[in-house]
Amino acid sequence: MRFLEDAVWRYYGWPNDFWASKCALCREVVARFRKPVPECINCWKIEVWSKGKTIGESLIGLRDEFQEELRFGMLDNLAQAITVAVGSAMSKISKCPIQVVRTGLPRVGYPEAPTDFVLIIYATTIGERDRLRRIVCDILCLPTGRAAEIPVRRGCWMYDDVLGPWTTWYPEDRDFAARPVENIRGGPGDR
């Protein structure tokens, strides 16, 4: 299975023109208007932490020297299985443990550790987000009721400092229905 890597992440579903243009436009619109916009609101991140409640329990009892390699391997296998199951899913896995930024919901799905491996799966609607959470459970042979334990958030956590907490951007149980901003560039004097 094809993937791309940089120093921090292994990406599945890349290159992806849809997400590349969506993310670029989001950065540009947020920089210009400094408020939540449809590109942020209709961007969901599903966070599967290797020590989180979803898969962490399956590794309890393993010796520490084996855990790190197995944790990355489990997330990598999960990302590949999601790509096969969905076809066009975009995801990324941290190649090393990274800081656990606990900004998603529910909080119970986060590991207690300060750092961990994470698989982030991208979705554009609440329906797609919830379907991907159920697929994660199916692949891991977990009851689909456990899908609600997998943390999710809107947009990128780095925007919380600029826009406020993502939970205040838009009602958490609704997608933004308006068409996303397609072209914010005006004439030459509009920059």
CB atoms within 10 A of CB 157: 16
Confidence check: pLDDT of 179 > 60 = no
Confidence check: pLDDT of 126 > 90 = yes
Confidence check: pLDDT of 189 > 50 = no
Domain spans in the chain, listed from the N-terminal domain onward: 4-14+43-154
Q: Residue 52: which pLDDT band, with cuts at 50, 70 and 90?
A: confident
pLDDT at 165: 94
DSSP-H helix ranges across 13-125: 17-33, 38-41, 64-86
Cα gap 157→155, rounded to integer Å? 7
The mean pLDDT of the chain is: 86
Confidence check: pLDDT of 183 > 60 = no
The whole-model pTM stands at 0.86
| Range 94-100 contact pairs with CB under 8 angstroms and sequence separation of 24 or more | 94/8, 94/9, 94/118, 95/5, 95/7, 95/8, 95/9, 95/10, 96/8, 97/68, 98/8, 100/49
Say if residue 106 is preceded by a cis peptide, omega within 30 of 0: yes
Q: Residue 119: which pLDDT band, with cuts at 50, 70 and 90?
A: very high
The listed range with the strongest mean pLDDT (1-5, 120-124, 140-144) is 120-124
